[in-house]
Amino acid sequence: MAEVIRMPKLSDTMVEGVVAEWHKKVGDSVEEGELLAEIETDKATLEFESFFDGVLLHIGVEKGKGAPVNDVLAIIGEKGEDVSKLLKEAESTAPVEEKKEEPKKEEAKPAPAAKVEAPKLTAKKVVAEAPKAQPSYSDNGIDLKISPLAKKLANDKGLNLSQIKGTGEGGRIVKRDVDNFKGGNAANFVNRESYSELPVSQMRKTIARRLGESKFTAPHFYLTISIDMDNAIAARVAINKSIAPNKITYNDFVIKAAAAALKEHPSINSSWREDVIIQNDHVNIGVAVSVEDGLLVPVVRFADGKTLTQISGEVKEFAKRAKAKKLQPEDWEGNTFTISNLGGFGIEEFTAIINTPDSCILAIGGIKQLPVVKNGEIVPGNEMKVTLSCDHRVVDGVAGTQFLKTFKNLMENPVLLLGAYNI
């Protein structure tokens, strides 16, 4: 008997999946555990294996298209089996995700959301129609002759007709002149307005939804502090020169110092859950990693118990797998605190939106050389600004300030992070 395979829920935030690749086509034999398709979620592209033996009788979602979780993805059964009735039943009885029952309220129920099919992830060029051209084009009083086809091609490409030399009869601009034209970029800004429509990926949709919920639900406030990085710079040079198998980055110091500070200030390592505040004893630090479609936040688990070299190796591996879209759901779940570092991109200071369910996120700026006062004298120094975004429902100003003071002390005295040199 034929079996229906539905769009799986491959992450906690996934509401829709896009088929990135089918590894089988209709009519192919399929074995249980055999790779059937690759599905793009809101965070990664994951391999999806068949649960059944048989023949692929129906594909419900074409390559490059999307469908909500639990929609019909495929049907597998015996060769030649009629699936029309099964398909009709499956589409009319699609299971829905269970929701926590809430007390009934006397109010109008919102209409169910319409099913939306994700577009293929290809950019579409949209061009505002240029004003209708006259039979000839005038440049400094000189009329240019052009064929209708050449004019259309030139408008489509955004070319300045006055820059194209005609080789047709009487200097007329013809199709080959437009095709062979090698004008500069300035031609693209002449005679018309244009823009591009870029499809929204599953990852970008989730980023928009989750950060929108965070920003407009959690009352954010921000605390900024400057850190003297002279000792951290010296410690990093010494470690990388003589001890560590993995090259230590400043971000590794930040993660280690944040983890240690969170153990001293557990109210920062907490989350808001309406009726209760969850205060975590474990420290799982999410590290924001930029990828092509947006942002992923893999988690360094139990960071307070790991050495700098362990943290360094883990973060490098996460970054490598994130860019290759090879992270698994367990890699980005369970964070209790998040760090976002833009210092390497030349950003001196910024504020970050809290990555729920965390109550705080730490934004790290770049190290800047500037004159500082030490022992009553003005000397060259290296400072780094960090900003803590706090959910005021969980964290008050004093608690945030105390955390930052501890973090600052650890960063300015990195020997405290080395664990008796078990780096």
Measured CA to CA, the distance from residue 13 to residue 206 in angstroms comes to: 7
The CA-CA-CA angle for residues 271, 273, 279, to 5°, reads 40
How many residues appear in the chain? 423
Active site residues: 392
- DSSP letter string over 249-288? -HHHHHHHHHHHHHHH-TTTSEEEETTEEEE-SS--EEE-
Give, as one character, the DSSP assignment of residue 177.
H
Angle between helices 250-264 and 397-412 (to 10 degrees): 130
- DSSP letter string over 42-69? SS-EEEEE-SS-EEEEEESS-TT-EEET
Measured CA to CA, the distance from residue 8 to residue 5 in angstroms comes to: 8
Which tokens belong to 364? Answer: 């790290």
Tell how strand 29-30 and strand 35-40 pair up.
Answer: unpaired
Measured CA to CA, the distance from residue 212 to residue 226 in angstroms comes to: 29
**């118990």: which residue's tokens?**
305
| Single-letter code of the amino acid located at 357 | P
Which tokens belong to 233? Answer: 């710079």
Indicate the helix (H) or strand (E) that contains 238.
helix 230-242
